[in-house]
Structure 1
Amino acid sequence: MEVTIAVSFLYIYERAAKIWVKDNCVVVESEKEHLKRTLPIEGVESVIIFGEASLSSSCVKHFMERDINLTWLSSRGKFFGRLESTRNVNIHRQRRQFACGEDDKFCLALGKKIVTAKVKNQITILRRYQRNRMETSVAKSIDDMVKLLPGLERVDNKEVLMGIEGIAARNYYQGLSALVGPEFAFHSRNRQPPRDPFNSLLSFAYTLLMYDVYTAAVNRGLNPYASFLHSIRKGHPALCSDLMEEWRAVLADSLALYVTSKGIIKQDHFDAPNHDGGVYLNTEASKAYIAEYEKKVRGRSHYLTYVDYSVSFRRAIEMQCQCLAKAVEEGDPDAYHPVVIR
């Protein structure tokens, strides 16, 4: 039975799985293997389906009543759609969000905070992994990125801001590629589709992170498609791209480095290149990778500056969405405090 349960997140890989609710429990049945998995519905917050699975209308009703959202992805991680209740829709907050999105000063000030935090976190990740790879130097990449930080403080329009962010990203991925073992070597970031195993791991982790952020944003009454930093486009949750930036290196890039350095994911865990040239994890390896992602986001830290206690990374993402909601309602970008790791 290709099902993974991670605290409140239920991942379903079984292509012909049937899902229903009985006696306050979620039941997942594999017709192929003639197996059932049962878990209390009170412990389920989100269901992520890879590939095909069928749900009864009664099951969907139970999920909507309990505010359990459903996300459908292809077996390769491509997003198909999402089903969620409307109880968290806050039109008053969204109207403020739309207004702030039209305020160039608000968008620039918030964007500078987010991009600066992203670059600082990327620098920290390079420094951390450099310590364990003394035979490899990423000092130039780090130095070049550090030199960009003063410019981020002085920038006076979003186009220049994103230009500096792009330069920092090129330096960062150059450094990251030097830290990856030779069997996972890559030369640059590529996507849609990812054309080598390490880029495949990055893309998969970004997909998982995207929908963690999506859930947190929606639960805080924010519109996931109305952004401040990234350009809006049809069908793209651009606000989630904004909110992901400070977390990419912290949660996704470091995860890819970890699983490859520890041998959790190996070269033979990837299928042969797809017809479009894309490289993807096989099903069993995907399960292992998601399990490691869940361990990561459930880990606790003290990175939030506005609380004096540790929280899980998933909880921190939720609190950051609430922090952004406060900034939106007050019309004050300084009310948002991005995460900067140490």
Structure 2
Amino acid sequence: MRRLLNTLFVLTEDAYLALENENIVVKNGEAVLGRVPLLTVENIVYFGYKGASPFLMGECAKRGIGLCFLSTHGRFLARVCGENPGNVLLRKKQYRLSEDEGKSVVFARNFIAGKIFNARTVLERARRDHPLNIDGEKFLLISNDLKAAIKTVRKVTDVDELRGIEGNAASAYFSVLDDLILQNKEQFTFAGRSKRPPIGKVNALLSFAYTLLAHDCASALESVGLDAYVGFMHTDRPGRISLALDLMEELRAIYADRFVVTLINNRIVKSNDFDDKENGVTLLNDKGRKRFLQEWQDKKREAIVHPFLEEKIAWGLVPYVQALLLARTIRGDLDEYPAFLWK
């Protein structure tokens, strides 16, 4: 159980939520895990399978308190809404902002500035932690290029120009990703990013990680009442969760890429966790996916200190906290969206 930004996160998967004397009661069998006054909560995000009492759901609907149900793996299931849910106003403002290029680019450049900042953090950490295993001069050169790109991003007023800067920065970053692989080099090499389809084992791992991260971001956005399909940088396209893709940009390198490199360097994934198709595509097999997902869930439980809130949270809550901050920015409670900047 965790409270952040007036949102109650219930992470105990077999917990049951009830309402007693104006208090949200979190139970595990007969044991009471915690009590939170209903008046102090704006949202409840529940990861589990036992659910909540009809009385609590009714009170949340009546008082305009968001109650969102997700699976233990973070898949969005349902949200309780009252007769006049406040997220209608939130979504209408989101739609207006997305159609105003001058305003949407402000959100977009913060996402991309966060992405480049965190990519640079990955390279700087590698220079610090593995000075004898990598070409420090090459990493420093690219790190300085990324630093300059961040300054340029801050001044951009055109989304297309922003996409060009992001593409160049991503190309520079991926040019040294193979150098971060320090073990299993005979089985895991990275010659460049290929998406659809993924070519090679490293691309297969990256694609799977990005799919999971996008899914987590979409669930996070839905949980706070935003429309995951209407983005600021990624354009609208049927079936594409554009805002989730926007939100995940700042988390790609620091969360997904580092996770993949750790799996390889710690020899957690093995060559027989993949299937090579006749068309050259490489995919994780059932055993590999199971191993990957177990490690992914373990990663999400790791504790960090959020750089903006300066509070200790689990890695898995980062998309939900960022979604809350994004919703508050869209409402006008924050002057500018604070990207997740890992140091």
Q: TM-score, normalised by structure 1?
A: 0.74
Q: What do the CA deviations read for 1:161-190 (whole angstroms, capped 9, x no partner)?
A: 110000000000011122224231111100
Q: Secondary structure at the match of 2:284?
A: coil
Q: Which amino acid aligns with 1:310?
A: K
Amino acid at match of 2:299: K
1:228 aligns with 2:229: no
State the percentage of identical aligned residues. 26
Task: Determine the C-alpha separation between the residues in 2 that align with 1:275 and 1:70.
Answer: 35
TM-aligned CA deviation for residue 83 of structure 1: 7.3
Which residue is 1:311 aligned to? 313
How far apart are residue 325 of structure 1 and its match?
Answer: 0.7
**1:247 partnered with 2:280:** no
CA spacing shift, 1:44–1:155, aligned 2, 3 Å: closer
Letter in 2 for 1:325: A
Aligned counterpart in structure 1 of residue 130 of structure 2, from 123, 132, 135: 132
- Paired AA for residue 166 in structure 1: G
Secondary structure of the equivalent of 1:126?
helix
Aligned-partner residue type, residue 166 of structure 2 = E
Match of 1:323 in 2: 325
Q: What number of residue pairs does the alignment pair up? A: 278
The CA deviation string for residues 259-297 of structure 1, in whole angstroms up to 9 with x for no partner, is 1000001222211x2244321122122111111111222
Aligned to 1:12: none
Alignment gaps of 5+ in structure 2: 1-10, 15-28, 30-44, 58-66
Structure 1 distance, partners of 2:190, 2:307, is 33
- Rounded to whole Å, the distance in 2 between the matches of 1:260 and 1:148 is 29
How far apart, in 1, do the equivalents of 2:171 and 2:329 lie?
Answer: 31
Give the Cα–Cα distance (whole angstroms) in 2 for the partners of residues 71 and 295 of structure 1.
12
CA drift of 1:69 comes to 4.8
Residue 44 of structure 1: CA displacement?
7.8
The residue type equivalent to 2:130 in the other structure is N
Equivalent residue of 1:167, what SS? helix
1:233 CA displacement: 0.8
Residue 128 of structure 1 aligns with an amino acid whose one-letter code is R
Paired residue secondary structure (1:135): coil
Query: For residues 190-241 of structure 1, what are the alpha-carbon distances to aligned partners after superposition, in whole Å with 9 as ceiling and x for unaligned?
Result: 0122110001111111111111111111010000000011111110000000
Report the CA distance between 1:316 and its aligned residue.
Answer: 2.4
1:261 to 244, 260, 265: 265
Distance in 2 separating the partners of 1:123 and 1:270: 30
Find the residue that maps to 1:301 and give its secondary structure. Answer: strand
Provide the C-alpha distance between the structure 2 equivalents of 1:226 and 1:258, rounded to a whole number of angstroms.
33
The match for 1:280 is 283
How far residue 324 of structure 1 moved from its aligned partner, in angstroms, is 0.7
Helix, strand or coil: the match of 1:184?
A: coil
Q: Which amino acid aligns with 1:169?
A: A
- Verify the 8 A CA contact 1:251 1:297 in the aligned structure 2: no
Return closer, same or farther for 1:335/1:149 CA change in 2, 3 Å cut-off: closer
Task: Report the residue type matching 2:202 in the other structure.
Answer: F
Are the counterparts in 2 of residues 193 and 276 from structure 1 also a CA contact under 8 Å?
no
Aligned residue identity for 2:174: Y
Q: Alignment RMSD, CA only?
A: 2.8
Alpha carbons of 1:337 and 1:44: their partners in 2 closer, same or farther (altered >3 Å)? Answer: closer
Structure 2 vs 1, CA of residues 205 and 8 (structure 1 numbering), >3 Å: closer, same or farther?
farther
Q: Which residue of 2 aligns with 1:50?
A: none
Alignment deviations for residues 291-314 of structure 1 (CA, whole Å, 9 cap, x no partner): 111122221212331x23211122
Matched, 1:115 2:112: yes
Moved more, 185-194 or 234-243: 185-194
- State the match for 1:21 in structure 2: none
Give the TM-score, by structure 2 length: 0.74
Question: In the superposition, relative to structure 1, how do residues 207 and 221 fare at CA in structure 2: closer, same or farther (>3 Å)?
Answer: same
Provide the C-alpha distance between the structure 1 equivalents of 2:77 and 2:204, rounded to a whole number of angstroms.
28
Q: Secondary structure at the match of 1:85?
A: strand
Of 92-101 and 218-227, more deviation after overlay is shown by 92-101
C-alpha distance in 1, partners of 2:105/2:168? 18
Task: Describe how 1:7-18 pairs up with structure 2 within 5 A.
Answer: 8=13
